Structure 1
Amino acid sequence: MANRENKESVFFSVNVFLKVLKRFLGLTALGLGLSALLGLGLGVGYFVGLVEDMPVPSQEEFAGTINNVEERSHLTDHQGEEIGTLRTDLVRTNVPLANISADVVNGLVATEDENFFHHNGVVPSAIIRAFVSQFASSGASSGGSTITQQLVKQRLLTNEVSMERKAKEILLSLRLEQFFSKEQILESYLNISPYGRNNKGENIAGIEEAAKGVFGVSADELSLAQAAYLVGMPQNPYAYTPYQQDGSLKSQAELQAGLERRKEVLNRMYLEGIISKSDYDQAMAYDVRQDFIETEESELEDEDDDERSSFLYQAIEREARQLLFDYLLSNANLEAANLSDEQYASYMEEADSMLRNNGLTIQSSIDLDIYNDMNANIENAYTSFGPTYTSSQNDPETGEEVEVVEPVQNGTVLIENATGRIIGFVGGVDFNISQVDHAFSSRRSPGSTFKPLLTYGPAIEEGLASPATPLADTYMKAKQADGTYWEPSNYGQNISHSFIPARQALANSLNNPTIYLYNELLNQGVDVQSYAQRLGLNNAIADDEFENIALSVGGTSTGPTVVELAGAYASLSNQGQYIQPYLIEAITDSNGHEIYRHQGQPVQAFSPDTAYIVGDMLRDVLTSGTWSRFNGQLDTSFDYFIKTGTSEDNRDLWVSGSTPSVTLTSWIGYDNLTQSRNLGDDAPSDVYGMPDSRHANYWIQLMNNLGAQYPDLMGANQMHQEPEGVHEETIVADTGTLPGSFEGPYGSSYTIPNSAEMTTDLFPADMSPREANFSYAIGGKLDELVEALEKYRNPGNGQTETQINRVRNNYQERRAENERARQNLGN
């Protein structure tokens, strides 16, 4: 029944549409001919096809929609559960048309729709122009909307630029004019239109608040010059409003856009014969800027402000505003990079107003129960991270001395590997202490967390190394760009002076082997930056830092956010596919029209083979590496890939761990607002324990708690699936190669027998163990390689023995010298 009524409504409106077209065609082209009639028929058929399934509101529904002007936007979680409403600073006062200056009404009609009182909701020439544009070009519709169409667009449709939306706009406009008088349409339009900001910095809508908020008078008291200024504002309210967000007046240059728009309105009124030449000249000469009222403080209050003071509201507001900004630019066919500062600010303000005042529903990716559990956990845990300091500093705005509280902060993010959905997060330990979002906004030094992503992963992907490839763990000294020398070492200044398999080097987070491997990537011309970009880390590292070998161990002046690092690590558990983490699932308007729907775009950062092998190497972090002492504390029903990171002097501590389903990444450290602090010297270990233990205990407790409450979501009893191409091979433990004979330096030869100590490890599909050879390792000097292979060297003649012994003696002397240097460095 409803469907039949809808079709009848569409049929009725199409009849009106045809009558309008017929009248226009009869007046403009009596001899159109058969081809024109055929084109008309096709156009009508196309129009009907676009709108036949669209519900047409009844008169009561129309009235409710165009008069319902107070709409707050709502936030929901992933399941649609209500989180709350967004703050609004919109000020609006409805007034009858009789209480609005005739200059406003006349100016509006003259500027926006000179035929307003003579058409049925649409202008025939504009309809034909729109359809011709659709068939003749890329499909973008033409302009020329009537006031009725603009009202329909504001209250019933989205800003999407498409022929379908234009067709719906036409149909609804024709229908609206059947129900309401021209005066009612004008009154509604003038009461709902946005007017930017007033002298208090508040968002305003409706002509009454615009008159009061810009000129300090009621809408029926506006002069011609003032009316013309306000009439021009709704087409671009945040560009034309004279006030900034804080209510202060814009600069003279920024005011020019609104003043020029006022001239356009006056010119249209004069050309349409609405005002005399004398009135026109007088209004054009009048400096309306002298009527702008002075800035005042806003008195708006929101009883729900306390409820909304949280990292969750802050993050959703920020993300949704950006998405709406992108939406507005897309509809205007603009690129953010091409906007002027004024345009950027105007579109961002429009997005903010749309977010707060358009009755939107913003569905987040968050599981509210998990979010609450994570934030309840940090409330109990953060005091164990280290002491809280209280300092004083001058407030830059007031000049007064204020107290600053500095606890150890935390940012934690839980994301779904396969989709990038942010399930829950911790933005900080206490929103009342600091509103800095440590999950999404704060960038910190990554320490060793970059090792598997920018060194070991690319090395395996490029075929330069396998987990069994020996890496030099020897003393090194590198000259830096500023002429100074960098002498890196492993944690605790411990260097083995040997060659360590890549698997062991990563599991124990050794620095020197990693640096040697990264240097080999650069020597082989590997584009490490491309890997960073595919892993979503392009904003975490400056372009000129990729040629710096210190980057391999976290040496960057920028650093990632927690959510960026979580997204990069999730790719290791997602067959090498990186999917950008997201916080907003969908945005719909008050009529149920979808403005935005998240669509993930996977990027293949690593091959599935590489991703799995690197992840398998990270399993050893728990079994034999840096976290082996914590292994017994973790729930054994989960298969973990884990990596930790520590920046210089324990300023930043990281843990990122993945199950097959989710990735949980956490950072702790001081914000260092008033002075530099770290988790070592400034948080004594005899009171709080070792810094890495504090963080490990937090991450493990959180992971275990979430795993117990949400086992399926967290990936209990699941295993990372090994790709078919990954194969296990038996190789020589010392060299990572097959047994065999080969030539060495100074005429020496070597033989590695089948009886040598063997081990097994994983290789990707396109890599096999290398044949025995002297260049079996990455990094290290000739004498170090000779010493490491001494037990496999075949006896040679006297000259060979003398040369080899000289090399070995040189190695022993240099090792002793390096050991003394290392001890001095440690002291």
Structure 2
Amino acid sequence: MAAARTICIRLLAAAIVIGGLGMGMVLGYFGALVQTVKVPTRSTLTKQINTTTQSSQLYYADNVKMMNFNTDLRRTPVASKAISPWLKKAIVATEDENFYVHSGVVPKALIRAGVGDITGIGGQTGGSTLTQQLVKMQLLSSETTFKRKASEILLASRIDKFFSKEEILRAYLNAATFGRNNKGENVARVEEAALGLFGKHANHLSIAQAAFIAGLPQSPSVYTPYTQTGTLKKNLSAGIDRKNTVLFRMYRAGVLTNKQYQSAKKEDLKSEFLAKATPERTDSKLGYLYDLISDQAVYYLAQYLAKNDGLKWATVRQHNDTYAEYRQRALTLLTTKNYQVHSTINKPVYDAMQTAMNQYGDYLGTTHSYTVTNPTTGKEETVTEPVQNGMILLNNQTGAVLGFIGGRNYSENQSNHAFYTYRSPGSSIKPYLVYGPAVDQKLIGTESQIADFEVNYNGYSPSDYGSTIQNRFISAKEALAQSYNIPAVNLYKELRTKTNPKTYMDNLGVPLTDKELSRLGVALGGTDNGISVQQEASAFSTFANEGAHTDSFVIDKIETPTGQVVYQHHAEKKQAFTAATSYIMRDMLRNVVTQGTAASLSYQVNFDTSSLYGKTGTSNDNKDVWFVGSTPGVTMASWIGYDNFWGHSYNLNDSGTNINQALWARVANAAYAADPKVFQLDKTFKKPDTVKSVSVLAKTGLPAGSITYKGSRTSVSGNTVTSLFNNFTPAATSFTFGIGGTTKNYNLFWANFFGAKNGYGTVTKYTGETIRDPNDKVGDVSAANATDESGSEESNDVGSSWQGNQSGNTNQQDSGSTGTTQNQNPSTGNTGQGQTNQGQTGQNQGQGTNTGQTGNGQTGSGGTGSGGTSTPGTGTGTGQGSGGSTGDSGGTGTGQSGGQSGGNNNSGGQQQSP
């Protein structure tokens, strides 16, 4: 026993010695760190804890001031007597139950911080007092190093010494953030929270209302009852549960009687929350610009904060609550600290683009008006549906966005159609999905011949504009310039045997899936979710950058008030195409502007067009009309179409492509007048040595040769043209000289070549059975969502036919393209509302009986939004039709972050953060 007692005493003594040494080390380490901390004077501390510093400043390019980051945060300071005693008690009971007895810090926090830093266990310390939280909000950055923690503890002790508990509590309640109000604005300070949630001043709150507000600072974005639009969340359980937790802690602390506790728990706060209201914007002219830059700034600063805490950003993004918390921290910094956010937007160019849109916008097409029932108020109201536009102008070499048009009128529609709206690209996808990769893979040269005859690929039968078939072999240059469908499908089919197109799409920043790329119809723009104007411009700009793709960007850098750069854009270049391929594609795309589907631009543009090239695109029924054009310096993409937010199916008319080109020309002219140097019209492209110029026969696209014809070896010659090839010289002409085509097609060609009058090259109407791509499922957007153009006008044809009960000749139907909005820029955004979308009735354009049936789409629970989190919703549409251009097959919508429309192609729909 004595020996055991001796051992225990020695172990206890050793533990005490070791513990003392450990404590000494921690305190010594703490002391060494705080030696460098400059302790403010009482007067300085008074100013710092009671005054919200200047909000962050947003800049155009070249350090030109734009505006303060202050239009979304509402704060009104109040005196202590103007704050409900219940709110004070609720905050103390919830956030810091020992507030009135400690000296600004809890001693164990210092020990925990020291041990954590020395051992590496626990990078962050919890349990901060209200005083420490005040220090973090008003005096320090959100950096989580131990030095910052040590500074926090020292300053908290200093504040507790200089100020009364009542002064500290008032300062905290006048600095904390409390989520959003009924206008969707972020609010700080309890007065704004009380007014924005319940329409009461902070000293008139009930116990339950005070408890709800007191629960918000822990996680404002999670517990706030409102979305970014100011609408009540469908699920308020998180905030209500948090309120009940606060009430229990108040009861446990003895500040509530059991009767008060039970009564407050039963109070129906949902009925007391204010109805949605309209925010007062400081400058609606900068609405799209402010929303874009501020949202991306929050995203990148949140990313920096997470990484600074030792967290992987990908992991943070997978957890909504954690992601929301870091966004809230970033938002607090940007709205209360003087950060500097520098964008790439060229102010003269941006302003000129807006002016041009305002002058020409009314000419874009019909504005529809109709009566709807507001889902929030239940009242009928008149809404309008104008033709919308999204446009982006970016620098080809850097990817910097110089200017954009987000929409027609920000005060009426806040959806950013340049960045967040995804639509079917139609034929505008052909250069970088089909022809560019084909040139790159050495499949074709500029004069290579591609078949344009009636085809049936396992049940998939596309046709050209107007349901026509050219019945001849067409050069790649002409096929692209006139945007024929069948050659594009034939070429894409051949391309897939040579390479995986997804490699090109990934390098170009166009996130098409393997499923989408497995369908031949994708060659005509048939995609599940479409692409954004930003992605279109960025991918197309690659041809002007010698085949190197550089991601487009808007935020150049973010600096702290002290000048520390916490975010700097670094260009990531990927060599998508060879320089030779890019040179050849520019040559081919020049024909689009000089004699193809965009020939009308030549007399509308005020600057030298000798280096201008581009591509048109139109989706089924003129739902989406595109033009993207490049000079050596810039690329500008333009989309026009209807949002169809309320389930309508308004489309543009057949003149949509000419209208969009006229808009493109006017905006380009305005931008050029504002800053001509960015167009780099004096720059010339040197022809790479790897571009081979080969003399080929005009009719075969290959050098002269010989074939076996009718049993005899026959020489083949004729008119020649120069064809450009990517670092190879093709073999001589053979019997099967082109891409695609059957033996019957080649026999027809050669008979005509040697003089037979057999109808070769006679344009005919497609008269075969109307069938669709069997790989496509109802609700998927495939080739039937793609349209093509020919001549001076865009096609309103789908380029393929969907199977229906038909007896007529021509049946071009819409696939029911899924319209989505997807936030590639960082955003949590709004929670959208579900939209009902109905497939239209197919109308007979053939000679048979119309058996088209009305397709109908169901309401998705997501709907149109500008981002955000919402309950995933689905919308499906089904439809059949014998003829007509709108017998919808329906569209599938999956609400992810604002929902997604089913049925007809709508720009309103899903919004998703990156």
Question: What amino acid is aligned across from residue 376 of structure 1 in structure 2?
Answer: T
TM-score (norm 2): 0.69
Aligned to 2:142: 159
Aligned to 2:265: 288
Pair 1:562-2:562 in alignment: no
Aligned to 1:517: 491
Pair 1:475-2:454 in alignment: yes
Aligned-partner Cα distance in 1 for 2:233–2:470: 67
What is the deviation of 1:451?
Answer: 0.5
Aligned-partner Cα distance in 2 for 1:580–1:185: 48
Aligned to 1:536: 509
**Alignment counterpart, residue 547 of structure 2, candidates 560, 573, 576:** 576
Aligned to 2:407: 428
Distance 1:106 1:295, change over 3 A: closer
Aligned to 2:854: none
**Alignment counterpart, residue 421 of structure 2, candidates 442, 458, 464:** 442
Aligned-partner Cα distance in 1 for 2:250–2:455: 77
Pair 1:63-2:42 in alignment: no
Report matched runs for 1:98-247 at 5 Å: 101=85, 104=88, 108=92, 112=96, 114=98, 126-127=109-110, 129-130=112-113, 132-134=115-117, 136-137=119-120, 140-163=123-146, 165-166=148-149, 169=152, 173=156, 184-196=167-179, 204-206=187-189, 232-240=215-223
Alignment gaps of 5+ in structure 1:
1-25, 682-689, 794-807
**Alignment counterpart, residue 719 of structure 1, candidates 680, 684, 709:** 684
Question: What amino acid is aligned across from residue 726 of structure 2 in structure 1?
Answer: P
**Alignment counterpart, residue 254 of structure 1, candidates 238, 243, 249:** 238
What is the deviation of 1:735?
Answer: 3.8
Aligned-partner Cα distance in 2 for 1:100–1:621: 70
SS in 2 for 1:636: coil
Aligned-partner Cα distance in 1 for 2:383–2:704: 64
**Alignment counterpart, residue 761 of structure 1, candidates 702, 709, 723:** 723
Aligned-partner Cα distance in 2 for 1:495–1:211: 68
What is the deviation of 1:373?
Answer: 0.9
Stretch deviating more after TM superposition (326-335 or 579-588): 326-335
Aligned-partner Cα distance in 1 for 2:200–2:408: 48
CA deviation vs aligned residue, 1:144-199 (integer Å, no higher than 9, x gap): 43444322221233434445654654565566567656664444223322334578
CA deviation vs aligned residue, 1:479-532 (integer Å, no higher than 9, x gap): 55xxxx63412x3555443222222321232222111101212344x3333433
SS in 2 for 1:631: helix
Aligned Cα root-mean-square deviation (Å): 4.9
Larger radius of gyration: 1
Aligned-partner Cα distance in 2 for 1:216–1:474: 69
Aligned to 2:888: none
Pair 1:639-2:614 in alignment: no
SS in 2 for 1:437: coil
Checking the alignment, whether the CA contact within 8 Å between 1:412 and 1:666 is kept in structure 2 is yes
Stretch deviating more after TM superposition (412-421 or 309-318): 309-318
Checking the alignment, whether the CA contact within 8 Å between 2:247 and 2:264 is kept in structure 1 is no
Aligned-partner Cα distance in 2 for 1:314–1:348: 15
SS in 2 for 1:519: helix
**Alignment counterpart, residue 626 of structure 1, candidates 573, 597, 608:** 597
Aligned to 1:527: 500
Aligned-partner Cα distance in 1 for 2:87–2:526: 65
Aligned-partner Cα distance in 1 for 2:562–2:595: 58
Pair 1:697-2:681 in alignment: no
Pair 1:707-2:672 in alignment: yes
Aligned to 1:687: none
Aligned-partner Cα distance in 1 for 2:632–2:592: 17
Pair 1:396-2:374 in alignment: yes
Aligned-partner Cα distance in 1 for 2:397–2:761: 48
Report matched runs for 1:240-389 at 5 Å: 240=223, 253-255=237-239, 257-259=241-243, 261-262=245-246, 265=249, 287-290=264-267, 292=269, 295=272, 297=274, 305=282, 307=284, 310-320=287-297, 323=300, 335=315, 338-339=318-319, 362-386=341-365, 388-389=366-367
Pair 1:669-2:631 in alignment: no
Aligned-partner Cα distance in 2 for 1:215–1:556: 46
What is the deviation of 1:456?
Answer: 1.0
Question: What amino acid is aligned across from residue 528 of structure 1 in structure 2?
Answer: P
Checking the alignment, whether the CA contact within 8 Å between 2:617 and 2:627 is kept in structure 1 is yes
Distance 1:259 1:632, change over 3 A: closer
What is the deviation of 1:717?
Answer: 0.5
- Percent of aligned pairs with the same residue? 33
Checking the alignment, whether the CA contact within 8 Å between 1:97 and 1:183 is kept in structure 2 is no
Aligned-partner Cα distance in 1 for 2:99–2:382: 64
Checking the alignment, whether the CA contact within 8 Å between 1:107 and 1:265 is kept in structure 2 is no
Aligned-partner Cα distance in 2 for 1:122–1:769: 80
Checking the alignment, whether the CA contact within 8 Å between 2:183 and 2:279 is kept in structure 1 is no
SS in 1 for 2:217: helix
Alignment gaps of 5+ in structure 2:
1-12, 769-807, 811-844, 847-914
SS in 2 for 1:438: coil
SS in 2 for 1:778: coil
SS in 1 for 2:596: coil
SS in 2 for 1:459: helix
Pair 1:466-2:440 in alignment: no
Aligned to 2:78: 94
What is the deviation of 1:411?
Answer: 2.1
What is the deviation of 1:216?
Answer: 9.5
Q: Hey, which of these two has a bigger chunk of helix by percent?
A: 1
Give the total of aligned pairs: 753
Aligned-partner Cα distance in 2 for 1:327–1:290: 41
TM-score (norm 1): 0.75
Checking the alignment, whether the CA contact within 8 Å between 1:455 and 1:517 is kept in structure 2 is yes
SS in 2 for 1:719: coil
Checking the alignment, whether the CA contact within 8 Å between 2:390 and 2:405 is kept in structure 1 is yes
CA deviation vs aligned residue, 1:7-31 (integer Å, no higher than 9, x gap): xxxxxxxxxxxxxxxxxxx999545
Distance 1:729 1:137, change over 3 A: farther
